[in-house]
Structure 1
C-alpha cells in the first residue's frame, strides 16, 4: 500500500510539470501570434503605405492584448508552482 506522503509528493511533482507545460505553451502561442501580427502588418503596409500609421497602431494594440494573455497564463502557472 502506498503511503499518503508518497502520493502527495507525486502530485506536487505533477503540478510543477503541468505548470511548466502551461507556461511554455502560453509563451510559444504568444510568440507565434505576435509573429503573425508583425508579418501581416508588414504585408499590409507594403501594399498600402498611406495607411501605415493606422496599421501600426492596430498592430501594437493587438500585440499588447496577446502579451497580456500570455502574462496572465504565466502568472497562473507561477501560482500553481508556489501556492
Structure 2
C-alpha cells in the first residue's frame, strides 16, 4: 500500500476545509437573507407608506449580507491554490 505524502494530506485537508467554509457561508447568507427579506415584507405590509425606504434598506442589507460569503469563497480559493502550508 502506498503512503500519502505530507503535501497530499495538507492539500486534501485544505480542500475539505474550504468546502466546509463555503458551505457555512452559503447557509448563513441564505438564512440571513431569508430572515431579513421576510421581516422587510412584514414591515412593508404594516406600513405601506414607508415601503420605498424599507425596500431600499432591504437591498442594501442584501448586498452587505452577500458580501461575506463572497469574501469567504475568495479566501478559500486562495488557501486551496496558493496554500502557505505546502512546502
Same fold? TM cut 0.5: yes
Distance 2:27 2:81 in 1: 22
TM-score (norm 2): 0.86
Partner of 2:37: 38
Higher normalized contact order (CA 8 Å, seq sep 6+, divided by chain length): 2
RMSD of equivalent CA atoms? 1.3
Displacement of 1:23 in angstroms is 0.8
Unaligned runs of 5+ in 1: none
Aligned pairs (5 A) from 1:6-21: 6-21=5-20
Unaligned runs of 5+ in 2: 83-87
Per-residue CA deviation, residues 45-80 of structure 1 (Å, 9 max, x unaligned), is: 011111000100110000000111110111111111
Runs of 4+ residues deviating >2 angstroms: none
Aligned length: 80
Question: Matches of 1:8 and 1:74 in 2, distance apart?
Answer: 22
